[in-house]
Structure 1
Protein backbone atom coordinates (compact mmCIF):
# COMPACT_ATOMS: atom_id res chain seq x y z
CA UNK A 1 0.00 0.00 0.00
CA UNK A 2 1.22 3.49 -0.88
CA UNK A 3 1.43 6.28 1.69
CA UNK A 4 1.11 9.94 0.69
CA UNK A 5 3.01 12.28 2.99
CA UNK A 6 2.99 16.08 3.12
CA UNK A 7 6.14 17.35 4.82
CA UNK A 8 7.05 21.00 5.44
CA UNK A 9 10.57 20.35 6.72
CA UNK A 10 11.96 17.11 5.34
CA UNK A 11 14.76 15.61 7.39
CA UNK A 12 18.17 14.77 5.91
CA UNK A 13 17.15 11.21 5.01
CA UNK A 14 14.00 12.38 3.24
CA UNK A 15 15.93 15.07 1.35
CA UNK A 16 18.52 12.51 0.24
CA UNK A 17 15.72 10.26 -1.05
CA UNK A 18 14.12 13.19 -2.92
CA UNK A 19 17.43 14.15 -4.51
CA UNK A 20 18.11 10.55 -5.58
CA UNK A 21 14.60 10.32 -7.08
CA UNK A 22 15.03 13.59 -9.00
CA UNK A 23 18.42 12.50 -10.33
CA UNK A 24 16.96 9.16 -11.50
CA UNK A 25 13.80 10.64 -13.02
CA UNK A 26 15.63 13.44 -14.82
CA UNK A 27 18.50 11.15 -15.85
CA UNK A 28 21.15 13.40 -14.32
CA UNK A 29 19.70 16.61 -15.82
CA UNK A 30 18.46 18.00 -12.49
CA UNK A 31 21.13 20.53 -11.57
CA UNK A 32 22.04 22.29 -8.34
CA UNK A 33 19.92 25.35 -9.18
CA UNK A 34 16.95 23.08 -9.91
CA UNK A 35 17.53 21.38 -6.55
CA UNK A 36 17.67 24.71 -4.73
CA UNK A 37 14.40 25.77 -6.39
CA UNK A 38 12.68 22.62 -5.09
CA UNK A 39 13.62 23.25 -1.45
CA UNK A 40 11.34 24.90 1.08
CA UNK A 41 7.60 24.92 1.16
CA UNK A 42 5.59 21.70 1.16
CA UNK A 43 6.99 18.40 -0.13
CA UNK A 44 4.46 15.81 -1.26
CA UNK A 45 5.98 12.33 -1.20
CA UNK A 46 4.43 9.06 -2.28
CA UNK A 47 6.07 6.14 -0.46
CA UNK A 48 5.76 2.37 -0.68
CA UNK A 49 7.53 0.10 1.80
CA UNK A 50 9.88 2.93 2.74
CA UNK A 51 10.83 3.71 -0.89
CA UNK A 52 10.10 7.11 -2.43
CA UNK A 53 8.08 6.61 -5.63
CA UNK A 54 7.03 10.18 -6.49
CA UNK A 55 7.57 13.76 -5.35
CA UNK A 56 6.28 17.30 -5.90
CA UNK A 57 7.20 20.47 -4.00
CA UNK A 58 5.12 23.63 -3.60
CA UNK A 59 7.43 26.53 -2.76
CA UNK A 60 6.36 30.10 -2.02
CA UNK A 61 7.12 32.69 -4.69
CA UNK A 62 5.72 36.01 -5.80
CA UNK A 63 4.47 36.31 -9.37
CA UNK A 64 3.44 39.67 -10.75
CA UNK A 65 0.19 39.70 -12.69
CA UNK A 66 0.10 42.85 -14.80
CA UNK A 67 2.34 44.42 -12.14
CA UNK A 68 0.27 43.22 -9.15
CA UNK A 69 2.11 40.88 -6.74
CA UNK A 70 0.38 37.57 -6.07
CA UNK A 71 1.41 35.14 -3.32
CA UNK A 72 2.07 32.07 -5.41
CA UNK A 73 2.54 28.38 -4.70
CA UNK A 74 5.12 27.41 -7.30
CA UNK A 75 5.39 23.72 -8.14
CA UNK A 76 8.91 22.32 -8.49
CA UNK A 77 10.58 18.92 -8.56
CA UNK A 78 7.68 16.86 -9.90
CA UNK A 79 9.08 13.41 -10.55
CA UNK A 80 8.25 9.73 -10.51
CA UNK A 81 10.84 6.99 -10.15
CA UNK A 82 11.43 5.49 -13.62
CA UNK A 83 10.29 2.04 -12.45
CA UNK A 84 6.88 3.46 -11.43
CA UNK A 85 6.07 5.88 -14.25
CA UNK A 86 2.70 5.68 -15.98
CA UNK A 87 1.05 4.08 -12.92
CA UNK A 88 -0.73 7.09 -11.43
CA UNK A 89 2.00 8.03 -8.94
CA UNK A 90 2.56 11.46 -10.51
CA UNK A 91 -1.18 12.08 -10.51
CA UNK A 92 -1.37 11.39 -6.78
CA UNK A 93 1.41 13.81 -5.80
CA UNK A 94 0.20 16.47 -8.25
CA UNK A 95 -3.38 16.20 -6.98
CA UNK A 96 -2.14 16.78 -3.44
CA UNK A 97 0.12 19.67 -4.51
CA UNK A 98 -2.76 21.27 -6.45
CA UNK A 99 -5.09 21.01 -3.45
CA UNK A 100 -2.45 22.68 -1.27
CA UNK A 101 -2.08 25.56 -3.74
CA UNK A 102 -5.86 26.03 -3.92
CA UNK A 103 -6.16 26.11 -0.11
CA UNK A 104 -3.10 28.27 0.64
CA UNK A 105 -2.15 30.67 -2.15
CA UNK A 106 -3.52 33.41 -4.39
CA UNK A 107 -2.18 31.69 -7.48
CA UNK A 108 -0.38 28.55 -8.53
CA UNK A 109 2.50 28.60 -11.00
CA UNK A 110 4.88 26.20 -12.67
CA UNK A 111 7.04 25.85 -15.74
CA UNK A 112 6.31 22.74 -17.75
CA UNK A 113 9.42 21.64 -19.52
CA UNK A 114 8.21 18.04 -19.42
CA UNK A 115 6.51 17.98 -22.77
CA UNK A 116 3.36 16.64 -21.09
CA UNK A 117 1.08 19.70 -20.82
CA UNK A 118 -2.00 17.46 -20.69
CA UNK A 119 -0.81 16.10 -17.35
CA UNK A 120 -1.03 19.53 -15.72
CA UNK A 121 -4.21 20.51 -17.58
CA UNK A 122 -6.01 17.50 -16.05
CA UNK A 123 -5.28 19.07 -12.67
CA UNK A 124 -6.72 22.44 -13.68
CA UNK A 125 -3.44 24.17 -14.59
CA UNK A 126 -3.85 26.53 -17.53
CA UNK A 127 -1.29 27.69 -20.08
CA UNK A 128 -0.31 31.35 -19.65
CA UNK A 129 -1.01 33.04 -22.99
CA UNK A 130 0.42 36.47 -22.26
CA UNK A 131 4.01 37.68 -22.29
CA UNK A 132 6.32 36.51 -19.50
CA UNK A 133 9.16 38.46 -17.94
CA UNK A 134 11.61 38.39 -15.08
CA UNK A 135 12.05 41.25 -12.61
CA UNK A 136 15.71 42.01 -11.88
CA UNK A 137 17.57 44.78 -10.09
CA UNK A 138 18.23 46.26 -13.56
CA UNK A 139 14.54 46.20 -14.55
CA UNK A 140 12.04 43.92 -16.24
CA UNK A 141 13.29 41.59 -19.00
CA UNK A 142 11.16 39.48 -21.31
CA UNK A 143 11.46 35.71 -21.10
CA UNK A 144 9.90 34.97 -24.50
CA UNK A 145 11.48 31.50 -24.62
CA UNK A 146 9.36 30.57 -21.59
CA UNK A 147 6.03 31.92 -22.89
CA UNK A 148 4.71 28.52 -23.95
CA UNK A 149 5.82 26.63 -20.83
CA UNK A 150 4.36 28.68 -17.96
CA UNK A 151 1.20 27.23 -16.38
CA UNK A 152 -1.00 28.83 -13.74
CA UNK A 153 -3.68 27.64 -11.36
CA UNK A 154 -6.15 30.39 -10.47
CA UNK A 155 -7.57 30.10 -6.95
CA UNK A 156 -10.57 31.64 -5.21
CA UNK A 157 -8.23 34.47 -4.11
CA UNK A 158 -6.78 35.22 -7.57
CA UNK A 159 -9.42 37.72 -8.59
CA UNK A 160 -10.23 38.18 -12.25
CA UNK A 161 -7.26 37.09 -14.34
CA UNK A 162 -6.79 37.45 -18.05
CA UNK A 163 -4.45 34.72 -19.23
CA UNK A 164 -3.22 37.16 -21.88
CA UNK A 165 -1.93 39.82 -19.47
CA UNK A 166 1.78 40.21 -18.65
CA UNK A 167 3.14 37.85 -15.99
CA UNK A 168 6.52 38.19 -14.31
CA UNK A 169 8.59 36.36 -11.72
CA UNK A 170 11.48 37.48 -9.53
CA UNK A 171 14.97 36.65 -10.75
CA UNK A 172 16.69 33.58 -9.31
CA UNK A 173 19.81 31.65 -10.35
CA UNK A 174 19.27 28.99 -13.01
CA UNK A 175 15.93 28.81 -14.76
CA UNK A 176 13.98 31.87 -13.61
CA UNK A 177 10.69 30.16 -14.33
Structure 2
Protein backbone atom coordinates (compact mmCIF):
# COMPACT_ATOMS: atom_id res chain seq x y z
CA UNK A 1 0.00 0.00 0.00
CA UNK A 2 1.04 3.57 -0.41
CA UNK A 3 0.72 6.52 1.90
CA UNK A 4 -1.98 9.07 1.08
CA UNK A 5 -1.11 12.51 2.47
CA UNK A 6 -3.62 15.23 3.30
CA UNK A 7 -2.67 18.66 4.63
CA UNK A 8 -5.45 20.35 6.56
CA UNK A 9 -5.83 23.20 9.07
CA UNK A 10 -6.93 22.34 12.60
CA UNK A 11 -10.19 24.23 11.95
CA UNK A 12 -11.00 21.87 9.08
CA UNK A 13 -10.41 18.60 10.92
CA UNK A 14 -13.61 16.79 11.78
CA UNK A 15 -14.01 16.01 15.48
CA UNK A 16 -13.34 12.37 14.61
CA UNK A 17 -10.12 13.19 12.74
CA UNK A 18 -8.92 15.37 15.58
CA UNK A 19 -9.57 12.60 18.12
CA UNK A 20 -7.95 10.04 15.81
CA UNK A 21 -4.82 12.19 15.43
CA UNK A 22 -4.54 12.65 19.18
CA UNK A 23 -4.90 8.90 19.80
CA UNK A 24 -2.19 8.24 17.23
CA UNK A 25 0.15 10.72 18.91
CA UNK A 26 -0.54 9.18 22.33
CA UNK A 27 0.36 5.76 20.91
CA UNK A 28 3.45 7.05 19.08
CA UNK A 29 4.78 8.77 22.20
CA UNK A 30 3.85 5.75 24.37
CA UNK A 31 2.03 7.68 27.06
CA UNK A 32 4.53 10.55 27.07
CA UNK A 33 2.23 12.98 25.23
CA UNK A 34 1.10 15.63 27.71
CA UNK A 35 -2.04 17.75 27.21
CA UNK A 36 0.32 20.66 26.52
CA UNK A 37 2.18 18.65 23.86
CA UNK A 38 -1.09 18.02 22.04
CA UNK A 39 -2.11 21.66 22.44
CA UNK A 40 1.16 22.67 20.74
CA UNK A 41 0.02 20.71 17.65
CA UNK A 42 -3.19 22.73 17.28
CA UNK A 43 -3.94 25.96 15.45
CA UNK A 44 -1.92 25.33 12.33
CA UNK A 45 -1.61 22.67 9.68
CA UNK A 46 -1.76 18.92 10.13
CA UNK A 47 -0.07 16.62 7.67
CA UNK A 48 -2.01 13.37 7.90
CA UNK A 49 -0.73 10.13 6.41
CA UNK A 50 -3.24 7.36 5.72
CA UNK A 51 -2.67 3.85 4.52
CA UNK A 52 -5.73 1.85 3.57
CA UNK A 53 -7.89 4.54 5.16
CA UNK A 54 -6.16 4.23 8.55
CA UNK A 55 -4.27 7.15 10.05
CA UNK A 56 -0.68 5.94 10.38
CA UNK A 57 1.29 9.21 10.50
CA UNK A 58 0.96 12.81 11.62
CA UNK A 59 2.96 16.01 11.67
CA UNK A 60 1.82 19.47 12.75
CA UNK A 61 3.14 22.79 11.53
CA UNK A 62 2.36 25.89 13.58
CA UNK A 63 3.57 29.45 13.26
CA UNK A 64 5.94 30.72 15.93
CA UNK A 65 7.85 33.98 16.19
CA UNK A 66 11.59 33.80 16.74
CA UNK A 67 13.90 36.66 17.54
CA UNK A 68 17.24 36.67 15.72
CA UNK A 69 19.75 39.43 15.01
CA UNK A 70 17.35 42.23 15.95
CA UNK A 71 14.51 40.84 13.82
CA UNK A 72 11.36 38.87 14.45
CA UNK A 73 11.09 35.95 12.06
CA UNK A 74 8.05 33.87 11.16
CA UNK A 75 8.94 30.24 11.70
CA UNK A 76 7.08 27.17 10.55
CA UNK A 77 7.52 25.12 13.72
CA UNK A 78 7.17 21.34 13.44
CA UNK A 79 5.35 19.54 16.24
CA UNK A 80 3.97 16.05 16.75
CA UNK A 81 5.74 14.13 14.00
CA UNK A 82 5.12 10.44 14.41
CA UNK A 83 4.35 7.22 12.58
CA UNK A 84 2.47 4.26 14.01
CA UNK A 85 4.92 1.60 15.29
CA UNK A 86 3.88 -1.08 12.79
CA UNK A 87 4.41 1.32 9.85
CA UNK A 88 7.86 2.64 10.75
CA UNK A 89 10.97 2.23 8.58
CA UNK A 90 8.94 2.60 5.38
CA UNK A 91 9.84 6.24 4.68
CA UNK A 92 6.52 7.61 5.91
CA UNK A 93 8.07 10.15 8.29
CA UNK A 94 10.12 11.45 5.36
CA UNK A 95 6.99 11.85 3.23
CA UNK A 96 5.23 13.76 6.02
CA UNK A 97 8.29 15.97 6.61
CA UNK A 98 8.66 16.66 2.89
CA UNK A 99 5.14 18.13 2.90
CA UNK A 100 5.84 20.18 6.04
CA UNK A 101 9.10 21.42 4.49
CA UNK A 102 7.30 22.37 1.27
CA UNK A 103 4.97 24.59 3.29
CA UNK A 104 7.84 26.02 5.35
CA UNK A 105 9.83 26.90 2.24
CA UNK A 106 6.84 28.60 0.60
CA UNK A 107 5.34 30.44 3.57
CA UNK A 108 7.89 31.13 6.35
CA UNK A 109 11.21 32.84 6.95
CA UNK A 110 12.62 29.58 8.33
CA UNK A 111 11.67 26.25 9.82
CA UNK A 112 12.35 25.26 13.42
CA UNK A 113 11.73 22.34 15.75
CA UNK A 114 12.86 20.85 19.03
CA UNK A 115 14.50 17.47 18.35
CA UNK A 116 14.70 14.40 20.53
CA UNK A 117 17.83 12.27 20.70
CA UNK A 118 16.12 9.63 18.54
CA UNK A 119 14.88 12.21 16.03
CA UNK A 120 18.13 14.16 15.66
CA UNK A 121 19.73 11.92 12.97
CA UNK A 122 16.52 11.91 10.90
CA UNK A 123 16.28 15.72 10.83
CA UNK A 124 20.02 16.23 10.30
CA UNK A 125 19.93 13.85 7.32
CA UNK A 126 17.18 16.05 5.84
CA UNK A 127 19.40 19.13 6.07
CA UNK A 128 18.09 20.65 9.30
CA UNK A 129 20.86 22.41 11.22
CA UNK A 130 21.38 22.43 14.99
CA UNK A 131 21.24 25.86 16.55
CA UNK A 132 24.49 25.92 18.50
CA UNK A 133 24.20 29.51 19.67
CA UNK A 134 22.32 30.39 22.84
CA UNK A 135 18.55 29.96 23.05
CA UNK A 136 16.06 31.82 25.21
CA UNK A 137 12.35 32.42 25.60
CA UNK A 138 10.25 35.49 26.19
CA UNK A 139 8.29 34.50 29.29
CA UNK A 140 5.72 36.41 31.35
CA UNK A 141 8.69 37.35 33.57
CA UNK A 142 10.92 38.54 30.72
CA UNK A 143 13.57 36.88 28.56
CA UNK A 144 14.97 33.71 30.14
CA UNK A 145 17.86 31.60 28.84
CA UNK A 146 16.86 28.05 27.92
CA UNK A 147 20.24 26.33 28.26
CA UNK A 148 18.63 22.88 28.43
CA UNK A 149 17.43 23.41 24.84
CA UNK A 150 20.82 24.49 23.48
CA UNK A 151 21.87 22.08 20.74
CA UNK A 152 18.41 20.47 20.51
CA UNK A 153 16.75 23.21 18.47
CA UNK A 154 17.07 22.66 14.75
CA UNK A 155 16.43 25.17 11.99
CA UNK A 156 15.74 24.94 8.30
CA UNK A 157 17.18 28.08 6.77
CA UNK A 158 15.00 29.94 4.34
CA UNK A 159 15.10 33.42 2.91
CA UNK A 160 16.93 34.84 5.95
CA UNK A 161 20.66 34.16 6.37
CA UNK A 162 21.34 32.55 9.72
CA UNK A 163 24.50 32.09 11.76
CA UNK A 164 23.51 29.00 13.76
CA UNK A 165 26.60 29.25 15.97
CA UNK A 166 27.12 32.96 16.45
CA UNK A 167 23.66 34.32 17.02
CA UNK A 168 21.11 34.05 19.78
CA UNK A 169 17.65 32.66 19.08
CA UNK A 170 14.65 33.66 21.19
CA UNK A 171 11.18 32.19 20.96
CA UNK A 172 8.61 34.96 21.50
CA UNK A 173 5.49 32.79 21.75
CA UNK A 174 5.09 31.78 25.39
CA UNK A 175 3.16 28.58 25.97
CA UNK A 176 2.56 26.09 28.76
CA UNK A 177 4.65 22.93 28.81
CA UNK A 178 7.82 22.81 26.76
CA UNK A 179 8.47 26.36 25.57
CA UNK A 180 10.48 25.10 22.61
Structure-2-length-normalised TM-score: 0.93
Distance 1:49 1:83 in 2: 14
- Which residue of the partner structure matches residue 119 of structure 1? 122
Please state if 1:69 is matched with 2:51: no
The correspondence of residues 5-154 of structure 1 with structure 2, limited to 5 A, is: 5-8=6-9, 9-154=12-157
Distance 2:4 2:118 in 1: 28
RMSD over equivalenced CA pairs, Å: 1.1
Deviation (angstroms), 1:14: 1.1
**Unaligned ranges ≥5, structure 2:** none
Please state if 1:176 is matched with 2:175: no
CA contact (8 A) 2:115 2:154 kept: yes
CA contact (8 A) 1:108 1:153 kept: yes
Distance 1:64 1:14 in 2: 34
**Unaligned ranges ≥5, structure 1:** none
Deviations 1:47-78 (A, max 9, x none): 01210111111101101113411011000000
Distance 2:111 2:73 in 1: 9
Deviations 1:100-154 (A, max 9, x none): 1011100111000242312112222110010000012322110000002100011
CA contact (8 A) 2:4 2:51 kept: yes
How many residues of Structure 1 are paired with residues of Structure 2 in the alignment? 175
Distance 1:56 1:104 in 2: 17
CA contact (8 A) 1:58 1:76 kept: yes
Q: CA 1:21 to 1:114, structure 2 compared with 1: closer, same or farther past 3 Å?
A: farther
Structure-1-length-normalised TM-score: 0.95
SS in 2 for 1:47: strand
SS in 2 for 1:133: strand
Distance 2:117 2:110 in 1: 21
